[in-house]
């Protein structure tokens, strides 16, 4: 592990200033809160920050507050465990509370934060072994062409990026219409959470749209407005395992029929993936096993599996079907 500076500011403005500086040996700075992901990346030599800026003590980035519009504002350094146990979140957004409660293990939920979960790095083993987000060897060729791609993307993989976005709560937050607020050298920004993610096309590009010195401050949830929601993950094990495919569904009903739908997928693309075809398959329909299955079928239209991950098509199809049924209160 290379030497680095450690700082622990108490205000967001101080954190931004420290993040914007060059850090030890000019290697730049990274924000950390729980550190359950970042410390492992530093230890394994995947990232080499010159400075760590511990934002866990910045009070303005913590807590859950009721918004002026009737929604909720979630602080970025609030732990996943606190979100899973929050009474306001459980009352208005029960599917979200359950999703937070299913993250990793109790030990990780007790230290991991909302911002860290949203900004965690891909679990691609090539990236974790130091070959970069695009998994290229010394000759610049993709290691995935002849390597192990069984856990990689089936959507959005036309370019050099084949990894999958790792957060299991991001798709559901996006489906709810969440917006993220950031603070940085240029001031504050607020934008849809989906815009936090991007697919890198070249070496040195990030999978997040945060600018230099910028950090996630808060997440804004609009009022639940009577919408029904559910998220369904497919894992090899029911706990302490990475999801192979996640489907998150938020429905607005007009009586027994679907008035509007938001369906977002996780762990199938380099970004949370918008299943617009699945949404269209539900509009104006009553939800039953047949319509849920049709939504699942529409969700995987256009999938481009790699050599060893075709099985993800069936997992995604099933996850969408079960999430739709669960959101509608049907037996899964």
**Average pLDDT score over the chain:** 96
Is 129 within a domain? no
Is 109 within a domain? no
Categorize the per-residue pLDDT at 22 as very low, low, confident or very high, splitting at 50, 70 and 90.
Answer: confident
Categorize the per-residue pLDDT at 238 as very low, low, confident or very high, splitting at 50, 70 and 90.
Answer: confident
pLDDT digits (tens, 9 = 90+) for 272-311: 999 999 999 999 999 999 999 999 999 999 999 999 999 9
- What integer pLDDT is reported at residue 145 of this predicted model? 86
Is the pLDDT at 237 greater than 90, yes or no? no
- What integer pLDDT is reported at residue 15 of this predicted model? 97
- What integer pLDDT is reported at residue 168 of this predicted model? 97
Residues 6-24 have a mean pLDDT of 94
pLDDT digits (tens, 9 = 90+) for 60-87: 999 999 999 999 999 999 999 999 999 9
- What integer pLDDT is reported at residue 331 of this predicted model? 76
Residue position matching structure tokens 């607005």: 252
Is 173 within a domain? no
Is 107 within a domain? no
* Residue where one domain finishes, among candidates 59, 82, 104: 59
Q: Are 80 and 107 in contact (CB under 8 A)?
A: no
CB neighbours of 107 closer than 8 A, spacing ≥ 6?
none
Residues 192-200 have a mean pLDDT of 98
Q: Are 229 and 96 in contact (CB under 8 A)?
A: yes
Residues 97-115 have a mean pLDDT of 96
CB atoms within 10 A of CB 319: 28
* Residue where one domain finishes, among candidates 59, 75, 102: 59
CA separation for the pair 128, 41 (Å, rounded): 7
Domain span at residue 21 reads: 1-59
* Residue where one domain finishes, among candidates 59, 87, 104: 59
pLDDT digits (tens, 9 = 90+) for 34-61: 999 999 999 999 999 999 999 999 999 9
Residues 156-167 have a mean pLDDT of 97
Structural domain count of the chain: 2
Is 55 within a domain? yes
- What integer pLDDT is reported at residue 62 of this predicted model? 98
Is 51 within a domain? yes
Is 277 within a domain? yes
CATH number of domain containing 7 = 3.30.43.10
Is the pLDDT at 241 greater than 90, yes or no? no
Categorize the per-residue pLDDT at 21 as very low, low, confident or very high, splitting at 50, 70 and 90.
Answer: confident
């Amino acid at each position: 592990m290379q030497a680095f500076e450690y700082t622990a500011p108490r205000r967001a403005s101080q954190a931004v200033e420290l993040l914007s500086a060059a850090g030890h040996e000019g290697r730049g700075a990274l924000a950390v809160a729980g550190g359950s992901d970042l410390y492992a990346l530093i230890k394994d030599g995947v990232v080499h920050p010159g400075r760590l800026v511990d934002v866990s003590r910045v009070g303005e980035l913590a807590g859950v507050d009721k918004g002026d519009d009737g929604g909720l504002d979630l602080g970025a350094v609030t732990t996943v465990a606190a979100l899973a146990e929050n009474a306001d979140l459980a009352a208005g957004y029960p599917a979200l509370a359950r999703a937070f409660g299913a993250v990793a293990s109790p030990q990780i939920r007790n230290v991991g934060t909302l911002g860290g979960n949203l900004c965690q790095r891909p679990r691609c083993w090539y990236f974790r072994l130091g070959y970069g987000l695009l998994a290229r060897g010394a000759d610049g060729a993709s290691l995935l062409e002849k390597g192990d791609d069984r856990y990689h993307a089936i959507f959005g993989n036309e370019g050099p990026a084949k990894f999958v976005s790792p957060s299991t709560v991001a798709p559901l937050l996006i489906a709810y219409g969440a917006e993220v607020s950031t603070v940085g050298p240029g001031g504050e920004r607020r934008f849809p959470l989906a815009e936090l993610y991007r697919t890198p096309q070249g070496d040195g590009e990030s999978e997040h749209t945060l600018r230099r010195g910028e950090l996630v401050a808060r997440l804004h949830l609009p009022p639940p407005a009577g919408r029904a929601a559910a998220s369904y993950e497919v894992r090899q094990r029911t706990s302490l395992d990475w999801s192979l495919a996640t489907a998150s569904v938020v429905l607005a009903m007009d009586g027994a029929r679907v008035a509007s739908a938001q369906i977002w997928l996780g762990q199938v693309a380099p970004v949370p993936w918008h299943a617009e075809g699945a949404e269209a398959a539900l509009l104006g329909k009553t939800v039953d096993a047949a319509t849920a299955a049709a939504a699942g079928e529409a969700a995987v239209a256009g999938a481009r599996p790699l050599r060893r991950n075709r099985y993800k098509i069936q997992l995604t199809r099933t996850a969408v079907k079960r999430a739709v049924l669960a959101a509608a209160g049907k037996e899964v």
